[in-house]
């Protein structure tokens, strides 16, 4: 197992006693390199993967703190001794200044092929990339490495030069699917944008065409945006990717509706991949939206993919460096200093004065997809909104979903509800970084 203070711990499965031959009395500490701003800037948030006698470990690194953030190095340790067998740095560092591209989500492994599949994240900082020109290979990518050596086998990038925090937050799903032209071993990668990329497991090439399409340009000074982004053409997006005034949630008082409309109208909103701006940019799906930590599940008998999706609008604004010192974020807005960049940032979920999401429900939904046909079979709200709704009424509006899905042979699909209901955040900005309320225990919902 991994820990929040960057240790890897090995226990005897039968007794729970630390394995004396692994590291120092059953544990080892990752050598991060460089100085952390605070101990929690670097953590391990997902379980290590064990493949062919190697324990493979990723990391979670705080976003939007600084340009020269810690590197997102992936490490492979001998499963018996804890000795470092290999390390792999996701970013190609020719001429760029950046860190991250870490692997904070779960990884997958194919024992027969001796491959481990990594979902990498965005480079640092998330919302300005002027010091990291180019596409930033192998950030925001599905990456296949040799489990025993860390050798790069292939990489497929889902976002070029990410400035939207559209990292890969979900485990790559390994499946044997009917493509319509025969059975194939594939890697299925869902994204925050609601895309589903289906890649050949041996080569990383898309099973169905992926098009490079033009996306909005005119970023802030010093930015070097990619003119295109990859769009899958066969499997439809699992959720809408555009937002307008017509999509504002209306069943609450006029002052609330007007406040939401004002937030939307005052923001730059040119559709998916609208670049961050000093005006303020609307990002939908939000940076925590689409498919998140829980990933997707595949039914090999009925050949159906299931995934949870979250719906909300993020408002991101870049703050010029001259205004960033001593900057006081409005209530409910996260502040990221992005030290070393000409802009800091603020980010907030668009809500009414009553705390209700500005976008129409569902706010969380499970989606079932026929991959072969390229067709969404159904979409169902998951969770009730008594924690957010007026008078605590349990409307079937769905809730934000970061949880996974379990499929049974009996035809039931299980998931859970995730809510944020309690405890104000700590006043310490370092300890509070990235936090948005607290998480109550998940409730299973078949």
Residue 367 is encoded by which pair of tokens? Answer: 């989606």
- Distance (Å, whole) CA 343 – CA 37: 19
Full DSSP string of 91-131: S--TT----B----SPPEEETTTTEEEEE--PBSSTT--TT
Q: Cα angle vertex 209, ends 206, 215, to 5°?
A: 105
Q: Judge whether 343 and 319 are in contact, CB under 8 Å.
A: yes
Considering only CA atoms, give the Rg of the chain: 21
- Distance (Å, whole) CA 414 – CA 399: 15
**In what helix (H) or strand (E) does residue 254 lie, and over which residues does it extend?**
helix 254-265
**3-class DSSP assignment, residue 19:** coil
Residue 317 is encoded by which pair of tokens? Answer: 């604004």
**3-class DSSP assignment, residue 260:** helix
The torsion angles phi and psi of 258, rounded to 5 degrees, stand at: -65, -40
From the list 165, 185, 200, 428, the catalytic residue is 165
Q: Judge whether 210 and 199 are in contact, CB under 8 Å.
A: no
Q: Judge whether 381 and 356 are in contact, CB under 8 Å.
A: no
**In what helix (H) or strand (E) does residue 310 lie, and over which residues does it extend?**
strand 304-310
Cβ density class 389-427: b for 16+ within 10 Å, e for less: beeeeeeebbbbbbbbbebeeeeebebbbbbeeeeeeee
- Distance (Å, whole) CA 423 – CA 81: 42
* Helix ranges restricted to H, 266-396: 321-324
Residue 165 a catalytic site member = yes
List residues with catalytic annotation.
165
């Amino acid at each position: 197992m991994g820990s929040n203070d960057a240790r890897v711990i090995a226990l005897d499965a039968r007794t729970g006693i630390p394995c004396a031959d692994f590291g120092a009395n059953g544990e080892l500490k990752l050598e991060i390199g460089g100085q952390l701003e605070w101990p929690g800037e670097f953590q391990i948030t997902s379980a290590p993967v064990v493949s062919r006698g190697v324990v493979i470990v990723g990391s979670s690194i705080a976003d939007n703190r600084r340009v020269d953030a810690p590197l997102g190095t992936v490490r492979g340790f001998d499963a018996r001794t804890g000795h470092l067998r290999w390390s792999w740095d996701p970013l190609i560092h020719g001429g760029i200044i950046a860190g991250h591209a870490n692997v904070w989500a779960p990884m997958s492994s194919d024992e027969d092929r001796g491959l481990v599949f990594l979902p990498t994240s965005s480079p640092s900082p998330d919302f300005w990339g002027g010091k990291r020109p180019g596409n930033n290979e192998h950030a925001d990518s599905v990456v296949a490495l040799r489990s025993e050596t860390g050798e790069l086998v292939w990489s497929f990038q889902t976002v070029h030069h990410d400035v939207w925090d559209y990292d890969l937050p979900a485990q790559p799903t390994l499946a044997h699917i009917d493509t319509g032209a025969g059975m194939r071993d594939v890697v299925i990668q869902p994204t925050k944008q609601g895309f589903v990329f289906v890649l050949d497991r041996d080569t990383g090439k898309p099973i169905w065409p992926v098009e490079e399409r033009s996306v909005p340009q005119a970023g802030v000074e010093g930015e070097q945006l990619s003119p295109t982004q990859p769009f899958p053409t066969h499997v439809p997006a699992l959720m809408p990717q555009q937002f307008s005034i017509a999509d504002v949630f209306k069943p609450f008082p006029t002052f609330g509706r007007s406040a939401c409309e004002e937030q939307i109208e005052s923001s730059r909103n040119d559709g998916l991949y609208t670049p961050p701006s000093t005006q303020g940019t609307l990002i939908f799906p939000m940076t925590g939206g689409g498919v998140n930590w829980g990933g997707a599940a595949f039914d090999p008998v009925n050949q159906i993919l299931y995934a949870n999706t979250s719906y909300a609008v993020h408002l991101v604004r870049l703050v010029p460096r001259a205004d960033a010192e001593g900057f006081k974020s409005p209530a409910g807005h996260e502040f990221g200093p992005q030290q070393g960049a000409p802009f800091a940032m603020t980010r907030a979920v668009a809500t009414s004065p009553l705390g209700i999401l500005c976008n129409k429900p569902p706010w969380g939904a499970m989606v079932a997809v026929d991959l072969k046909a390229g067709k969404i079979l159904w979409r169902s709200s998951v969770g009730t909104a008594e924690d957010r709704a007026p008078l605590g009424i349990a409307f079937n509006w769905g809730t934000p979903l970061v949880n996974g899905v379990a499929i049974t042979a009996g035809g039931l699909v299980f998931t859970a509800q995730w809510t944020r209901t309690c405890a104000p955040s700590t006043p310490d900005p370092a300890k509070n970084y990235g936090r948005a309320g607290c998480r109550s225990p998940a409730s299973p919902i078949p």
